[in-house]
Structure 1
């Protein structure tokens, strides 16, 4: 087994939005549990979620909801309309 770490780089906005999604999905275990049927996948999910929680102090800020909404808006500007593939997606 290769235990060498893998680094994933996210923008701050991406990290904030992903953190919020993971939190919601994990709190609604039926939702995430129906998507993730392979129990081994939970290990990296917990690692990613924990790392995001410890590196994003604004998730505990009073204006967190405003910051999250702003980050979502900026990311949506980047990916474009619903009918177009994301600029940084697999089809670019």
Structure 2
């Protein structure tokens, strides 16, 4: 694989939910969740990219948008 870049495509809902989860993981003791510091590099890069790409991350309706995205992504019973 080497130094080439990999592109991952996410829907807006997927990106929002993943970004929120990554933020929570990064605020915990990351070493308890991820035992390999090499993985942290990728986690921080993905989280940083999502933070820059997602519009209105700090908007007043963030919680509502996050919950709506979660509902759309959850499989129906």
Q: What's the TM-score once normalised by structure 1's chain length?
A: 0.77
Number of aligned positions between the proteins: 77
Please report how far the alpha carbon of residue 4 of structure 1 lies from its aligned counterpart in structure 2 after TM superposition. 0.7
Q: Is the 8 A contact 2:31 2:37 kept in 1?
A: no
Partner residue of 1:13? 13
Task: Report which of the two structures shows the higher radius of gyration computed on alpha carbons.
Answer: 1
Gaps of 5+ in 1: 82-92
Whole-angstrom CA distance in 1 between matches of 2:24 and 2:33:
14
Counterparts of 2:25 and 2:37 in 1: how far apart (Å)?
15
- The CA RMSD measured in Å over matched residues stands at 1.3
Q: Which residue matches 2:39?
A: 41
Q: Distance in 2 between matches of 1:40 and 1:80?
A: 36
Indicate the residue corresponding to 1:67 in structure 2: 65
Structure 1 runs of 4+ with >2 Å offset: none
> Secondary structure of 1:58's partner?
coil
TM-score of the pair, normalised by structure 2: 0.91
- Any gaps of 5 or more consecutive residues in structure 2? none
Which whole-Å CA distance do the structure 1 matches of 2:55 and 2:31 have between them?
Answer: 27
More relative contact order, 1 or 2 (CA 8 Å, 6+ apart)? 2
Shift of residue 35, structure 1, vs aligned partner: 2.2
